[in-house]
Amino acid sequence: MTPAIELVGIDKSFGAVHANRGVDLAVLPGSIHGIVGENGAGKSTLMSILYGFYEADAGEIRIGGKPVAIRSPADAIAHGIGMVHQHFMLVETLTVLENVILGAEGGTLLKAGAAKARAELTRLSDAYGLAIDPDALVSDLSVGLQQRVEILKALYRGADILILDEPTAVLTPPEADALFALLAQLKAQGRTVIFITHKLREIMAVTDRVSVMRRGEMVATLPTAETSPPALAELMVGRRVLLRVEKSPREPGEPVLEAIGIAVTDAKGVERLMDISLTVRAGEIVGIAGVAGNGQSELLEVLAGVIQPSHGAIRIAGELIPPHRRNPARLRELGLLHVPEDRLRMGLVPSFPAFESAALGFTGDPAFARPAPFGALFDRAAMVDHTRRLMDGFDVRPPDPWLRSSKFSGGNQQKLVLAREIERGPKVLLVGQPTRGVDIGAIEFIHRRLIALRDAGVGILLVSVELDEIMGLSDRILAMCGGRITGERRAEGTDAQDLGLLMGGVSEVAA
Amino acid sequence: MSAPIELPRWADVALVPAVSVVAAFIVAGLVVVGIGENPLTVTRILVTGSIGSADAIGFTLYYATNFIFTGLAVAVAFHAGLFNIGGEGQATLAGIGVSLACLNLPFLPAPLLIVAGILAGAAFGAVWALIPGWLQATRGSHVVITTIMFNFIAATLVVYLLVNVMGRAGSMSPETAEFPAASHIPSAREVLGALGIAQPSTPLNLSLALALAAAFGVWLLIYRSRLGYAIRTVGASPGAAIYAGISPGRIVMVAMAISGALAGGLAVNELMGAQHRMVLGFTAGYGFVGIAVALMGRSHPAGIVLAALLFGALYQGGAELAFETPTITRDMVVVIGGVLILFAGALEGLFRRLVARTLTVAAPRRAREA
Amino acid sequence: MDLQALAVILDSALRLSVPLLCACLAGLWSEKSGVVDIGLEGKMLIAAFAAAAGAHASGSALIGLAAGIGASVAFSLVHGFAAISQRGNQIVSGVAINMLAAGLSAIVGNAWYGQGGRTPSLEGDARFGDIALPGADAFAAVPVVGPLFREVVSGHALPAYLAFLAVPLTWFVLARTRFGLRLRAVGEKPAAVDTAGISVPLLRYAAVIICGVLCGIGGAYLAVAQAAAFLPNMTAGKGFIALAALIFAKWRAWPALGACLLFGLLDAGAIRLQGVSLPLIGPVPVQAIQALPYVLTVILLAGFIGRAVPPAASGVPYVKER
């Protein structure tokens, strides 16, 4: 059978980053083809090339066996390729109809094409059960509905080949199920679907064939039926994965962090967290498992004082924290330290030299100040020395305190942030996505340091989208869904399937 | 792709600004040719007119003083990620503050009256910048637009005050009475004369020392102090600032106030140092040129002092030029300022790319030759 | 106030609002596409100079208008190049445009004409005459409406009618056409436009050019219709009041007309209210009325009355995410 799409020898670099190296891919028509790989493996870049968003440095794209030039999304659309981006390409101030016809308006005047478009939209909506009001403003739609608009956009343009980039990252489990049903329906009509994810469960559930990418290379393409999650995981990371990190059992101590009935409402008035109560004890790691966007980020930020709760109380080491002291600087003084999820936006200042980033949050340290009366001025030698010690202790490379923070690799940036927080001797450490975008070697190092910290009696709250990481490090696991805690498990008494159900909102109360 | 263009440090701080200055002068030269003058003659007049005599140097430094103040004002706001276009208005308000202090505190002895005048100017300028800062911090209105609006509000306010309230009795022109002698900042002629160095009479006065001290102070503040660290963090990464426990809103207000106070230095130099009364329109566009100065100086006080000297020389040279060649007016400086803002500011990326490309082409060649 | 006096004030308000309207709509086009433009003032100024010079040289007001538009569009393209192609800071570029225009118009004007930056007075065909609308005299006898029509609506110069015509045109194109939809989209989310297969730079350049044309009409009106020569800095902040009006109108065409007429009326009123004592308030300083547009804009921006939200992507250069 002639592949619907063939990519041959695709190569793409961004500056020093080699995002795709000689990638080959063949997708059979009328199939659902999964592409898996870790974050940064090059999946999205490859699809952006297929969609004409980027141009490949080398390689060939063939559609139905014929080589084609795809230099822009317009070319891709003309070849019947549609793409649903991970971050939706919708204009929030426009209506559904306006978004759908954008770029395919059908005439100089909108009026000319609008009636036809409206009819076609209704037909598509009915055919696929995508009930949606064409005149609703996109900003008023839920994330799940917005994704439907994205799919309708592609179908309206007559896409035979549909690319979905991490489509479930933002969906609730019922929404994801609806999406999978839709994909099956599209396949039944003979359309081709390319489905990008890093979640093996989804690959196994919906795809016919699966390709695995690792560090910019395509390492395997297999029929889904002939493989298994452990086999795929091994292909993804390139060696047998240690699901369990070495750690000895430890009896937790006194509570060091307690959240009681925390609720958070965002600027748009949407409730992000509802009635969250949790306890972290000295010497234990509490993991938060959840699909991205279900309130874990808000939980970290509210506990760290970055955002304020609308309800609820927080205790640190038994002491109730009054609202006016719930800010990061005060909490730090009480021994609550925080490794934020997004190190480039929060954890450090990319344009600062490393020694200044290493002082972020601690500029009030008397060790960094000149003697009176010049106490408002920095003693830079002390800051540089301090940074050098952090770099030695955490093997940050290159160990150059003067190097701009942005010039370190992701793993080394993360080690610097961890070093800064851990070396302050926290009572409680909040850790968000400790190994996102971090190379394998550094991951092991970071995991070992976190375990050591726990063994030293620090209470750690760990948020990660990597379920393996949560299961491997945590003593106790809380699952979150839709801004609520949906269940609690001992790490040794659970597995991915059990947690997956909890993350999907199948709460114990409801069940 | 738009990856940031990495350049060696020397190229970053010296070569890129220098290339944009040269390019700006080439454009200005084309304008000169376009109106039928000889650019070489014009350059000669500019140079001798600005640094060719003690007299000329005095004027050049006097103008440079203004540019140091307004350039620093823009730069401090830049470091906090803010674009303060309101230097004109802030200096105008500072002028009112200076006048109020100088005219209403005649009982103070000379040094104290001068200090009072400087503080009043700084305070009025700070408040006029603080309001837009406060509006951005608490109400989310962008300082760019509010400071523009505040320039115009200041302009109408000062007309009203000079015509109806503070105006010189019996005078139709919008200006205050002459400030008491005790409020006059000593001129360079007086100071150097006391040291036995003869100086021609120019408006140059000790405000220059104040401006240089301000430049040093800003350097300490921005690069060496906790507050400066907070300002730079807010400017570079508001997320990191919040994470660190720095309140961006508070820093926005503080940075704007400092910026406005620095713009107030323009009023000190002009009114207390030179004109000895408040006159309408004394800000004369120095506030806007301050943007060019800050961009060219890459928001670093040392760079700003150098850029201010360049603009001071252009201003003074431009005056001579207007005198000697009737076809060219001092607006030439405004043109050069505009081109420089375009080149060193809006088109910075283009110039950085050009320099980067030239360097990468040159580097292997050098290696081969070596 | 009798009808005649009212007509005079309204007529003058209309005249004063024309340059505001041109610049305001110009800003609307630019900012709707995501390019912030604080260089409206400068573009109008250089257009005023070019229009006066062109009209003087050719003896034709129309050629003057064309020259004004040409100069303004040229400056627009400089801004566009910096903002769109080079992804430079749009505020910085706008400041540069304003300074360049102020400096160049003064220098070149002085070099060419030697009158301190003024251009020679325009006479006859070199200046736009007032156009009497058909029926202006015929209906003059109709009470109230007739005289108002003749005095206020009729009797303006060509660029003024172009400006007022631009209001429905702007509304129609933005709301009802393919180009308008794409433009609205690109100012809110350029990535959505890009992935829909439409060129972001082309759309933005188109908007910036329209912005230049409108500023050109405004500048030409100032020098070749309202006045009969170019005077240094003759825009006197109108480009910034237009910016204020744009915020006031929340980036919409019809409200822009309303805001510009209001600001024009304030201006016309300020001239006439000089020294007049209002009941209860007493004599109002003319400066207070002059400052009113700016004060109102600040209050509006601060969200004390309503909320003014600019297009989401305005001022942000489009960079493909990686």
Q: Nearest to residue B72, comparing CAs of B171, B220, B175, B202?
A: B220
Contact (Cβ atoms closer than 8 angstroms) between residue A491 and residue A287: yes
Residue A511 has pLDDT above 50, yes or no: no
Q: Is A338 on the interface with B (CB under 8 A)?
A: yes
Residue B156 or residue C143, greater confidence: B156
Query: Mean pLDDT throughout B339-356?
Result: 88
Measured CA to CA, the distance from residue A103 to residue C197 in angstroms comes to 7
Q: Which two tokens stand for residue C316?
A: 């942000």
pLDDT at A106 over 50: yes
Q: Which of A367, A390, A311, A326 lies closest to B245, judged by CA?
A: A326
Residue B319 belongs to some domain of the structure: no
| Test mutation, A18, A55, A308, A346, chain B, max B CBs within 10 A | A346
Q: Is B273 exposed, middle or buried (0-12, 13-18, 19+ CB in 10 A)?
A: buried
For residue B243, the chain A residues in CB contact (below 8 A) are 304, 306, 328, 338, 340, 346-347, 360-361
Mean per-residue pLDDT, C59-83: 97
Residues in chain B: 370
Tell me how far apart the alpha carbons of residues B328 and B45 are, in angstroms, rounded to a whole number: 11
Backbone φ/ψ region at A30: left (φ over 0), alpha (ψ -120 to 50), beta: left
Mean model confidence pLDDT for chain A: 89
User: Over 90: is that where the pLDDT of A291 sits?
Assistant: no
| Alpha carbon A459 to its chain's center | 24
DSSP string across A349-416: -TTSBHHHHTTTT-TT-GGGBPSTT-TTBB-HHHHHHHHHHHHHHTT-SS--TTSBGGGS-HHHHHHH
Interface test with A, best of C195, C199, C321 (most A CBs within 10 A): C195
At B368 the pLDDT is 53
User: What is the C-alpha to C-alpha distance for residues A343 and B211, in angstroms, rounded to an integer?
Assistant: 39
Neighbours, chain C (3 or more CB pairs < 8 A): A, B
Quote the tokens at residue C312. Answer: 């989401």
pLDDT class of A242 with cuts at 50, 70, 90: low
Residue B45 has, within 13 A of its CA and on its CB side, a CA count of 20
Residue with tokens 């706001």: B77
Q: What average pLDDT score do residues C85-92 get? A: 91
**Token couple for C11:** 């007529």
pLDDT given for residue C305 in this prediction: 67
The sign one gets for the Cα dihedral B47, B52, B57, B63 is: negative
Distance separating alpha carbons of residues C48 and C22, to the nearest angstrom: 13
- Give the list of residues 6+ apart from residue B368 with CB closer than 8 angstroms, or none: none
pLDDT in tens, A332-342: 999 999 999 99
Instruction: For chain A, give the number of residues.
Output: 511
> CB neighbours (10 Å) of residue B189?
18
Write a three-state SS string for C254-282.
Answer: HHHHHHHHHHHHHHHHHHHHCCCEECCCE
Query: Which residues partner with A276 through β-bridges?
Result: A262
Q: Please, which pLDDT band fits residue A75 given cuts at 50, 70 and 90?
A: very high
Q: State whether A361 and B230 contact (CB < 8 Å).
A: no
Q: Is the pLDDT of residue C193 over 90?
A: yes
Q: Is the pLDDT of residue C309 over 60?
A: yes
DSSP A138: G
Lowest mean pLDDT among A480-484, B113-117, C69-73: A480-484
**Residue B127 forms part of a structural domain:** yes
Cβ neighbours, 10 Å, residue C144: 10
- Average pLDDT estimate for B72-77: 97
Q: Is C280 left (phi over 0), alpha (psi -120 to 50) or beta?
A: left
What are the residue ranges spanned by the domains of chain A? 5-237, 255-503
CA dist., res. C205 & res. C68, Å (int): 19
Closest CA to B251 of B97, B77, B55, B50: B77
Contact flag A93-C312 (C-beta cutoff 8 Å): yes
Contacts 24+ apart (CB under 8 A), A405-408: A405/A348, A405/A349, A405/A350, A405/A351, A405/A352, A405/A353, A405/A354, A405/A356, A405/A357, A406/A344, A406/A350, A406/A351, A406/B4, A408/A354
* CB burial string B67-106: b at 16+ within 10 A, e below: bbbbbbbbbbbbbbbbbbbbbbbbbbbbbbbbbbbbbebe
- Predicted local distance difference test score (pLDDT) of residue A444: 83
Cα three-residue angle B237-B242-B246, rounded to 5 degrees: 100
Report in angstroms the alpha-carbon separations of B117 from A37, B177, B184, B185, B264: 67, 15, 10, 10, 11
Instruction: Specify the pLDDT at position A510.
Output: 39
| Phi-psi category of residue C123: left, alpha or beta, with phi > 0 → left and psi -120 to 50 → alpha | beta
Averaged pLDDT, B198-212: 93
A169-173, B305-309, C278-282, range with greatest mean pLDDT: B305-309
What pTM does this model have? Answer: 0.89
Closest residue by Cα to residue B125 from B4, B291, B263, B329: B263
Of B361 and A272, more confident: A272
Say if the Cβ atoms of B152 and C294 lie within 8 Å: yes
* Residue A20 C-alpha, separation from nearest chain C C-alpha, in angstroms: 13
Q: Which of A170-174, B216-220, C142-146, C298-302 has the lowest mean pLDDT?
A: A170-174
Q: Does domain A255-503 have CATH number 3.40.50.2300?
A: no
Tokens of B111: 């040094």
The amino acid at B75: A
Confidence of residue A200 (pLDDT cuts 50, 70, 90): confident
- Among A227-231, A309-313, A367-371, B70-74, which is the least confidently predicted range? A227-231
Q: Which residues contact A267 (CB under 8 A, 6 or more apart)?
A: none
The 3-state DSSP class for residue C217 equals helix
- Kind of pairing, strands A217-223 and A58-63? unpaired
* Both tokens assigned to C127: 């200046």
Query: What pLDDT score does A405 carry?
Result: 93
Q: Mean pLDDT, to the nearest integer, of A128-139?
A: 89
pLDDT at A507 over 70: no
Number of Cβ within 10 Å of residue C317's Cβ equals 20
Is the CA virtual torsion B301, B305, B307, B312 positive or negative?
positive
Are B293 and B104 in contact by the 8 Å Cβ rule? The answer is no
* Residue carrying the six token digits 């234990």: A284
pLDDT confidence bin for B370, thresholds 50/70/90: very low
B229 touches chain A (CB under 8 A): yes
* Residue that the structure tokens 């230099």 belong to: A71
**Chain C contact set for A101 (CB, 8 A):** 181
Pairing mode, strands A32-36 and A192-197: parallel
Pairs of CB atoms within 8 A across B/C = 161
Segment of A460-469, B106-115, B263-272, C3-12 carrying the highest mean pLDDT: B263-272
* Chain A neighbors (3+ CB pairs < 8 Å): B, C
Q: Taking CB atoms and an 8 Å limit, are C298 and B146 in contact across chains?
A: yes
d(CA B31, CA A389): 58
* Residue A13 main-chain phi, psi, to 5 deg: -125, 145
Tell me how far apart the alpha carbons of residues A204 and A225 are, in angstroms, rounded to a whole number: 8
Q: Is residue B6 part of a domain?
A: no
Cβ neighbours of C108 in B, within 8 Å: 31, 34-35
What pLDDT is stored for residue B4 in this prediction? 58
Residue C110 and residue B348: Cβ atoms within 8 Å? no
Q: Over the stretch A8-49, which tens digit does the pLDDT of each residue have?
A: 999 998 877 788 999 999 999 999 999 988 767 888 889 999
Closest Cα partner for A260 from A318, A301, A307, A306? Answer: A318
Residue B255 belongs to what domain range? 58-296
Whether B220 and A329 lie within 8 Å, measured CB to CB: no
Q: Which of residues 270-329 of A touch B (CB under 8 A)?
A: 304-306, 327-329
Contact C102 B326 (CB under 8 A): no
Distance CA(B335)–CA(A340), nearest Å, equals 48
| pLDDT per residue as tens digits for the range B20-35 | 889 988 998 999 898 8
Angle at C138 between CA C134 and CA C141, to 5 degrees: 140
Report the topology of domain A5-237.
Answer: Rossmann fold (3.40.50)
**Residue whose token pair is 């990191």:** B240
Give mean pLDDT, residues B67-82: 97
Alpha-carbon gap, residue A55 to B213, rounded angstroms: 53
How many Å apart are CA A368 and CA A390, to the nearest integer? 15
Q: Which of A434-443, B322-331, C160-169 has the lowest mean pLDDT?
A: A434-443
Measure CA C211 to chain center: 9
What integer is the mean pLDDT of B43-64? 93
Q: What is the pLDDT of residue B2?
A: 42
pLDDT higher than threshold 80 for residue A245: no
Say if A5-237 and A255-503 have the same CATH topology.
Answer: yes
Residue of A nearest to C192 (CA): A89
B282-309 burial, b if ≥16 CB within 10 A, otherwise e?
bbebbbbbbbbbbbbbbbbbebbbbbbb
Which structure tokens are listed for B261? 């106070």
**pLDDT more than 70, % of chain B:** 96
Domain tally, chain B: 1
Q: Is the dihedral of CA A168, A174, A180, A185 positive or negative?
A: negative
- pLDDT > 50? residue A358: yes
Both structure tokens of B14: 């010296």
